[in-house]
Structure 1
Amino acid sequence: MSVEDKVYTGSGGKVYFDGEELFYVQKSELKVTPKRENFDLVGELDEYSKLVGLSGKGSVEVIKTNAFVYRRFVEEMKKGKDPTFTYIGEVTNAATNETQTAIANECKIDGDLDIMSFEPKKIMNDAISFTFPPTKMEFEE
C-alpha cells in the first residue's frame, strides 16, 4: 500500500448530531486540551508540569438548510434547561475503506446561536461551537 493510500481526507467525513446525519457539512473539529499546572523545585533549573484537568471543544460549520437544532435548543433554554447533545464524527479513507469514529457525549453549546442572518446573493452558513467532557468520549475503529 502506498503512502498516499494511508492518508485520510476530509472528503470522507460525516457528522451526526444526536444520531441524525448533518448534511452539507463544510468543516468540523473536535479537540481535547490538557490543562497543566507548572511548578518548580528548589535547586533545579527544570520547570515541571502536572496534568490537572482536561477540556473539550468542538465546532461544526454547515450550509444552512433548516433550523431544527436551534429550535430545540432555544425551546429548552426558554424553560431554564441547559440542552445537551451527542456529536459523532467519522472519517473514512476511500483507498482502504477504514473508518475512524469519535463520539463526544454531553456536549453543550458554547457561544452564539446564529438564528438568522443573511445577505443578498450569499449562501447562508451555520456554525455551532460546543464544549464536552473529554472523559465521556468514546472511540470506534
Structure 2
Amino acid sequence: MARDAEDVIYRGRRRWNGNHGRVWWDGELLFEISKFECKVTAQREDVIIGNSVDSKVVGLKGEGSITIKSVINRNINAYLEEWKNGHDPRATIVGLLEDPDAVEGQVERCSIDNVWFNELTLMSFEKGNVVTKEFPFGFTPEDSKFIEDIE
C-alpha cells in the first residue's frame, strides 16, 4: 500500500547531522571546519497603515561565520597584508550539508560570492584546549544561491 507524502513517518535517523557538512573557501576544502553559519536578514522600515504598524523590506544583509580547529594559517597573513595596503579582498564560500543516514540523495549546497571578512584572529589560544579561530564575514545576498536544495 503506497503512502502519501503527508503520511510518511520520519525517524530520528533521518534528521540532519552536521558531522558530514563541508565548506570550501575559494575552492579549497576546509578539512578542519568546526562550525559554519550564513544567513540573510531582512532590513525593514515601519509603515503605518491606519492605526497599525506594518513593515516593508528595504534591504537585505548577508552575514555568517566560519569556525575552524586551527591547523594551518589559512592565508590570514595574505588578507592582513591586503588590508594594510588599502585593499578589500573578496572570497567565495561554498557550504555543503549531506548526511549518509538522512533521506538518500538529499543534499544542500549553497554558494556565497562577494564575501568580505570583518576581522582576522591573528593568534588566540588557551592552555589545555584545542585552538580554534572564528572568521566572521559579510556578503551581498544577491551573490548567494542554492546550487542544490532539498525538495
TM-score by length of 1: 0.90
| C-alpha separation in 2, matches of 1:128 and 1:69 | 12
**Corresponding residue SS for 1:68:** coil
1:22-45 per-position Cα deviation (integer Å, ceiling 9, x unaligned): 01211110100011111113xx23
| C-alpha separation in 1, matches of 2:43 and 2:125 | 38
Matched, 1:91 2:97: yes
Root-mean-square deviation (CA, aligned residues, Å) is 1.5
Aligned to 2:4: none
Aligned to 2:125: 118
Aligned to 1:100: 108
Aligned length: 138
Gaps of 5+ in 2: 1-7
Matched, 1:129 2:145: no
Identity of counterpart residues, as a percentage?
Answer: 30
| C-alpha separation in 2, matches of 1:77 and 1:119 | 27
Aligned to 1:17: 25
Q: Counterparts of 1:32-51 in structure 2 under 5 Å? A: 32-41=40-49, 44-51=50-57
Gaps of 5+ in 1: none
TM-score by length of 2: 0.84
Bigger proportion of residues as strand: 1
**Corresponding residue SS for 2:60:** strand
8 Å Cα contact 2:124/2:133 also seen in 1: no
